[in-house]
Structure 1
Amino acid sequence: MLTHLSDTQTEFNLQVEENGVRLDRYLTQELPDLSRSRIQQLIEQGQLQLNGKVCTSKKINVKAGDRITLQIPSAEPLKLQAEDIPLDILYEDDSLLILNKPAGLVVHPAPGHPDGTLVNALLAHCPNLPGIGGVQRPGIVHRLDKDTTGAIAIAKTELAHQHLQAQLKAKTARREYLGIVYGATKTESGTIELPIGRHPQDRKKMAIVPVEQGGRNAVTHWRILERLGNYTLMHFQLETGRTHQIRVHSAQINHPIVGDPIYSSNRSIGVNLPGQALHAWRLQLQHPLSGELIEVTAPPPQTFTTLLEVLRRRAAISS
């Protein structure tokens, strides 16, 4: 295998030695630094030639003697501006950065939020980040909603990005949340396994949507940490990572997250909250280079702890 590097692109040249392997699977085996999804993306973009001709089918079976050329174009120049936004760093080395995200901070640029995002802050903190994981989302492996606080992991190299994404897909990374919900559940723990998709009428919302109608499997494990009268402090563990997953699942079992402006009645509880009382409390993952288990706990914000104290006092008075 010859790998040619230039200023504009990386090119891999391979010759197949066995029959009957699907093209994308073969390349995943031969090029372990590239994820299968990335390889499929490159094939669909016309970046692969099979025996001198462009091939856009990832499912074709290769044969012994086939010649494959795969080109990886250089990363698009990033047009986002670096912004000096303070970051609460929980862990950092040359491969990985884990932050405690505050409420109100959007993770990456989107319509209505062109700047002032976590990505803009990261570009100021990590000058080498552009191009890792995509133009608009450099280094972002998973996301948190704007008003959800807590631990979020950022990849600082392409290898780390692929490794962390693979952990999330294989469900070996552990993501634990604290949430305060309305009401009191009858049981002490449970699992919500309901598919989530875009709401059929309101495109800004997610909803429980059957898989056959476009929903994606979603699994949330929960257990009670503390009963607070008409409220409950819950521990959530994600098995999947769908958009708004905990918020949608909690609302579906009639225990929406307190302060959620979309999925609950958002009734006043006498405490000024910036958004939903949901906090990404603990993140556990394997270091992409050393293989060491990294576990980081993010202290909840003051608004979360204040809400807990208020609810504890109310529960004590009413008991």
Structure 2
Amino acid sequence: MNAIETHALSKLYAPGVGLSPLTLSVEVGEVFGFIGPNGAGKTTTIRTLMGFLRPTAGSGRILGRDVWYEREAVHTRVGYLPGEVHLSRDDSARDLMRRSCQLRGGASDAYGLEVARRLELRLDAPLGTLSKGNRQKIGLTLALMHRPELLILDEPTDGLDPLAQETVLDLLREAAHEGRTVFLSSHVLSEIERVAGRVGLIRRGKLIRLEEVRALRASLPQQVAVRFARPPSVNLAALSGMVGGGMTGDGMAGGVAGGLDFRGLWRGGPDALIHALAGESLLALSLTPSSLEDAFLEEYRTAGETSAAPLREAEDVA
């Protein structure tokens, strides 16, 4: 049994608006990254999986339970963080934790207190007096505190300072180490890259790519930067492994006087590049692996995405 299983699951508000038929499996114990720009359909997908939106077609199951017809059973086994945390302004974190334990039949709040401590959360301050970041910490604490089998988190580090962001990533790694599953939606690609084993890329409500993070990064070209001490005799742009780049000259965008800098993208092992540079006089050379963000941007460029505005409108409908 997978933690999440969907078959042609969709939620459409109008033609081309919403979640197109989605077929996806997320294994138990996996950290799965769900990425896309604002408005791509991430939140609609999550709200449909949680049973807050009735599917237009298809089916979805979480831990063996139907996401719509058995949504109450699903909720007892899932820790959920929405994209925007809306809680009573008069309650404190301690009040909400106590209420959550009562709703779960007197469950312990021991782990919730540990999470709150690690996030440096003020437990007794009314929510109305707290910053967005501290309200986000409360939402995270409530999602994590009962050690659920599955965590579904929508932009979990939104509004957090860098130290708190790192703490959240540590907590997610620990959850996976314990055999629990994490479905992590975010547009902060560096975070996804650090904790997820696989990623799914969604655009305009459609899943357009599904791949292991390691394999995705290995398939990307490396970024090349060379600074020559004097004009080179080799034409790096003509090398078969160079998939983009060129010399920069005086007056060109990003250029350096004398045309001694080269930037490009190199695919494959570095031997041919090093051999081509062996007879040149260099001041600097770097080969930098591409990141998940590079893959994300390249996927959107390939598809001809030029603006995120229509995507936001689609998400606003949700």
TM over 0.5: no
TM-score for both structures, normalised by structure 1: 0.26
TM-score for both structures, normalised by structure 2: 0.26
More helix by share: 2
Q: Which has the higher contact order (CA 8 A, sep 6+)?
A: 2
